[in-house]
A = this chain, B = another copy of it.
Amino acid sequence: MTTPFSLHPQLAADTVSVTEGPLSHVLLIKDARYPWLVLVPRRAGLVDYDDLSVSERTLLGAECAITSASLKKLFAAPKTNVAMLGNMVPQLHCHVIARFRDDAAWPGPVWGVGTARPYDDAEMETRLVALRAELIPAFTTV
């Protein structure tokens, strides 16, 4: 009997759902300092990148490329960070973060820096609408 996938409670607590990619939940981190998405493959038991099958790697790669390009376009971000760490939360998840030369952590990594700034409701709604308008059509091309 296999364990079904369920989103890790810490990831659920730290994010809101944006949409579904072909492989992954696409989640927005509740930290308005950065446009910061997390992709979580809907497969039970994945921990590290080498746990993915070849076809899962292909799908996650497409999702990462789409989310990275979309964040740069939507937020006029000069670059993105794409990272799978998982030191704190052992369920495989991939961060895709728009980075700016004046952001709170630049040029360091974002993890563990300062305190998350919550979105207000209008700001969150605006962000989700923009992300969904960009990502949902793009994911249909995968």
Would A49 and B82 be within 8 Å (CB), given that A61-B61, A109-B109, A109-B112 are in contact? Answer: yes
CB of A57 closer than 8 Å to a CB of B:
yes
Contact for A68 among B48, B80, B83, B107, CB less than 8 A: B48
**In the bound complex, do residue A72 and residue B48 qualify as a contact, i.e. CB atoms below 8 Å apart?**
yes
0 or 1 for each of A23-47: is its CB under 8 Å from B? (1 = yes): 0000000000000000000000001
Give the distance in Å from the alpha carbon of A111 to the alpha carbon of B105 in the complex.
12
Q: Is the CB of A109 within 8 A of B85?
A: yes
The proximity string for A residues 67-92 relative to B, scoring 1 for CB distances below 8 Å and 0 otherwise, is 01100100000011111111110100
Out of B48, B64, B68, B69, which one reaches A79, CB within 8 Å? B48
Which listed residue, B47, B65, B72, B99, touches A52 by the CB 8 Å rule?
Answer: B65
Asked if A50 is at the interface (CB within 8 A of a chain B CB), the reply is: yes
Please pick, from B81, B87, B108, the residue contacting A99 in the complex, using a CB distance under 8 A: B87
The answer to whether A85 touches B83 (Cβ under 8 A) is yes
Q: Which residues from chain B contact A68 at a C-beta distance below 8 Å? A: 48-50
Asked if residues A87 and B65 are in contact (CB atoms below 8 Å), the reply is: no
- A83: nearest chain-B partner, CB-CB: B83
Check A6 for interface membership: any CB of B closer than 8 A.
no
Cβ 8 A contact of A108, one of B58, B61, B69, B112: B112
For window 83-137 of A, CB contacts with B under 8 Å fall at: 83-88, 90, 99, 106-109, 111-112
